[in-house]
């Protein structure tokens, strides 16, 4: 099945932030054949892959590349004896709840985390102590320069805190994740406790992009943000959350410029007060290189959204 492309497509509705301009084309690939056809059509030209837009801030000017969304067949989730097999477009909440319902231990660390499995793999999503790659047996991906899907294991990408080492342009397709059986009551309690803590301490009732900054070694980002007086600071429709100061929320009509202004001011204050250079956890699409450098963002790896 071929991809149906939409020209001058608005991207804001496809992100949790509800912020961002347009892409020249937006298309959904519902199966591997459609994805292969799309990649052949681009013939080496750059493009972007968007998941649920859970950790992606898109420039008000939008992006200058076509954007692909993975659809139907990439959303499958299958529970096996000791593993879960999930497509890259499967939602993290769906995978976590499947593990919970089937009494599979070790998955409470992703409770109340939005996004897709593909996005989680790209940034090694998880808690401060555990990332999704700690549960990976293997991942199938399209790697630039390879003629077909490549099977990767954790040692191939050397996962770390909120990052992996992978080539630019990689597209995750599916993953096999360890999910050992456990005692249902204990699993239910672990999930409920973790979820309750997250819902009480993080803003879920307004659009956000999750944690804005990664935790610097030996520090908590939110404590640093608090310490320089940024909690509650506002620019236009964007505000540093009163509930959790490592979140910047869209209180209505926020622009990407509003969010960026808060990020720049936060980073400046933290550096002046502590000599620490904050690094964004969120992905930034469509911004000029000099601004990316000023934000401490990885220019090469910025354009992968979950």
- Known catalytic residue: 304? no
- Out of 16, 104, 162, 176, the active site residue is 162
Catalytic residue of the set 28, 73, 281, 303: 281
Task: Answer yes or no: 234 catalytic.
Answer: no
Q: Catalytic site residue 151?
A: no
> Catalytic pick from 108, 166, 208, 211?
211
DSSP, residue by residue, the chain: -PPPEEEEEE-GGGSSS----EEEEEEEE-SHHHHHHHHHHHTT---EEESS-TTEEE-TT--SS-EEEE-GGGG-EEE-SSEEEEETTSBHHHHHHHHHHTTBSS-GGGTT--SBHHHHHHHT-B-SS-BGGGGEEEEEEE-TT-SS-EEE-HHHH--BTTB----TT-EEEEEEEE--B--HHHHHHHHHHHHHHHHHHS--SS-B-S-SBPPPTTS-HHHHHHHTT-TT-EETTEEE-SS-TT-EEE-SS--HHHHHHHHHHHHHHHHHHH-----B-SEEES--HHHHHHHT--TTT---B-
Give the closest residue to 304 by CA, choosing from 5, 7, 29, 70: 70
Catalytic residues: 162, 211, 281
């Amino acid at each position: 099945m071929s991809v149906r492309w939409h020209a001058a497509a608005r991207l804001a509705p496809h992100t949790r932030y509800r912020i961002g301009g347009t892409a020249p084309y937006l298309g959904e690939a519902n199966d591997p054949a459609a994805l292969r056809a799309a990649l052949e059509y681009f013939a080496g030209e750059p493009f972007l892959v968007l998941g649920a837009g859970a950790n992606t801030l898109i420039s008000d000017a939008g992006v200058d590349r076509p954007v692909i969304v993975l659809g139907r067949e990439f959303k499958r989730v299958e529970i096996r004896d000791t593993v879960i097999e999930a497509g890259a477009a499967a939602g993290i909440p769906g995978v976590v709840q499947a593990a919970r319902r089937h009494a599979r231990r070790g998955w409470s660390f992703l409770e109340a985390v939005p996004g897709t499995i593909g996005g989680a793999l790209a940034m090694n999503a998880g808690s401060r102590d555990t990332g999704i790659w700690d549960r990976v047996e293997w991942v199938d991906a399209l790697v630039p320069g390879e003629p077909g899907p490549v099977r990767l294991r954790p040692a191939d990408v050397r996962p770390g805190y909120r990052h992996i080492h992978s080539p630019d342009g990689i597209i995750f397709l599916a993953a096999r994740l360890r999910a050992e059986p456990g005692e249902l009551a204990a699993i239910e309690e672990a999930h409920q406790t973790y979820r309750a803590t997250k819902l009480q301490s993080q803003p879920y009732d307004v659009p956000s992009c999750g944690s804005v900054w990664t935790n610097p070694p030996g520090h908590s980002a939110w404590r640093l943000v608090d310490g320089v007086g940024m909690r509650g600071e506002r620019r236009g429709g964007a505000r540093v959350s009163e509930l959790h100061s490592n979140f910047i929320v869209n209180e209505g009509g926020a622009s990407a410029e509003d969010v960026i202004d808060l990020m720049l001011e936060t980073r400046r204050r933290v550096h002046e007060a502590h000599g620490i250079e904050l690094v964004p956890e969120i992905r930034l699409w469509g911004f000029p290189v000099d601004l990316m450098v000023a934000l401490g963002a990885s220019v090469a790896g910025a354009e992968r959204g979950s």
